[in-house]
Structure 1
């Protein structure tokens, strides 16, 4: 967490995060145009933010796009804020909406575990319920198969979709229709990609939620930082996060 605090200590880096919060997936050139500093200085700040896990970059054709990764801030909140303040602050509230191109959200986290154990935690319904708001995801986890999200405390199904690519323990690609509210359901189908990469004695988990309508209902993707921080906590400590979000559809 020291790298996160160090990265946040600089006002320019905080402003870069504000810009990505305002409009995610920007190029270096687009970000540079918003600051009265050199391209090299912006690049240096972005590298420090990437090293802290606060920014994730992705190539799209010839462009390199930068995405805000709110998961490290969520982890800081879990450790230092949630003990004293309830309910949880929503990590992505106030995002400006536009109605132009499909939207993409990228979340990245490092977890001290093996790829096999992480895959099990993603696909086992009982384990999944421990960090996914009490919801279970059931499927036979074969390519083309269906999955359903449900919970004993929910009035009906919470979500459904199809497994587009299943490559254990490396990659899972799913399309998804959220059913937990009328607003979420009205957004239609989006896509979620889970990518697991071993790094030393840990794994880097990248979750990409894309094919979202620009300006999509925030509830559709805003829970990922809480889900991933809960997943990390459970795998590394065996403990559950007992927050309003984790207790939404059940009890730990």
Structure 2
């Protein structure tokens, strides 16, 4: 976590994070607008932020888009914020997000996990494992392109479903995503991409949720879902225990 604190210590880097918080997925040129920094200076700060895992970047044609990655800050929160204060802090954060920003159309989450590609892939696709870290949800599919997938609650209710678009075992999984337990959300369809990149004894997990056609889903999964799920997955694979389900 030293890289995270070092990156956050600079006010210019915090300003860049604020810019991405207000509108995610910006190019270098857009981030250079209305800042008292040279283009080269912005590039250097973005490199530090990316090395710390606080932002990620994606190529879109000739452009490189930058996205805020909340996972390192979430890990700091999970480690040091008292469990008694966490619900209150989360509620305030949720309220602040709803009042200040429109949720990003593409949400990107990245995290390094000390595990193997085989174990990480199993954790993403095996229902006996998902229910240990994914709010008790058990996932079901044969993971063949074109097949259906769905997750069921501990009570047996089907909560989320979709189609398998791409499946490259141990590397890449792309699925559509439809939330069923909320009538408003069940009308929206989004897409989730999981990428596994082995880095020595670690694996970098990238989760990209394209909610460009699902604005209500965007708000829901951002404030209630992915950050906690991925943190719980990391805990399960590294310690054998997922995180306690938030109340």
Match of 1:198 in 2: 198
Match of 1:78 in 2: 78
Q: Higher helix proportion, which one?
A: 2
Q: How does 1:30-109 map to 2 (within 5 A)?
A: 30-87=30-87, 89=90, 93-94=97-98, 96-97=101-102, 103-109=105-111
Match of 1:178 in 2: 179
SS in 1 for 2:66: strand
* CA displacement at 1:153 relative to structure 2: 4.2
Match of 1:122 in 2: 124
Judge conservation of contact 2:190–2:214 (CA < 8 Å) in 1: no
| CA RMSD between the two structures | 1.9
SS in 2 for 1:194: strand
Q: How many residues align?
A: 240
TM-score by length of structure 2 reads 0.90
User: Relative to 1, partners in 2 of residues 1:23 and 1:55: Cα closer, same or farther, differing over 3 Å?
Assistant: same
SS in 1 for 2:184: helix
Match of 2:242 in 1: 240
Write the deviation string for residues 78-111 of structure 1: whole angstroms up to 9, x where unpaired: 111143523161666335238xxx9211111111
Equivalent-residue separation in structure 1 for 2:181 and 2:132 (angstroms): 18
SS in 1 for 2:41: helix
Equivalent-residue separation in structure 1 for 2:197 and 2:49 (angstroms): 20
* CA displacement at 1:203 relative to structure 2: 0.6
Judge conservation of contact 1:196–1:206 (CA < 8 Å) in 2: yes
Structure 1 stretch displaced more, 220-229 or 25-34? 220-229
User: Relative to 1, partners in 2 of residues 1:133 and 1:48: Cα closer, same or farther, differing over 3 Å?
Assistant: same
* Unaligned 5+ runs, structure 2: none
Match of 2:27 in 1: 27
TM-score by length of structure 1 reads 0.89
Match of 2:212 in 1: 212
Residues 1:224 and 2:229 aligned together? no
Q: Which has the higher contact order (CA 8 A, sep 6+)?
A: 1
SS in 2 for 1:158: strand
Equivalent-residue separation in structure 1 for 2:133 and 2:124 (angstroms): 10
Judge conservation of contact 2:197–2:203 (CA < 8 Å) in 1: yes
User: Relative to 1, partners in 2 of residues 1:84 and 1:15: Cα closer, same or farther, differing over 3 Å?
Assistant: farther
* CA displacement at 1:243 relative to structure 2: 4.0
Equivalent-residue separation in structure 2 for 1:61 and 1:216 (angstroms): 28
Judge conservation of contact 2:57–2:64 (CA < 8 Å) in 1: yes
* Unaligned 5+ runs, structure 1: 246-252
* CA displacement at 1:215 relative to structure 2: 4.3
Residues 1:6 and 2:9 aligned together? no
Equivalent-residue separation in structure 2 for 1:195 and 1:244 (angstroms): 26
Judge conservation of contact 1:178–1:220 (CA < 8 Å) in 2: no
Judge conservation of contact 1:96–1:215 (CA < 8 Å) in 2: no
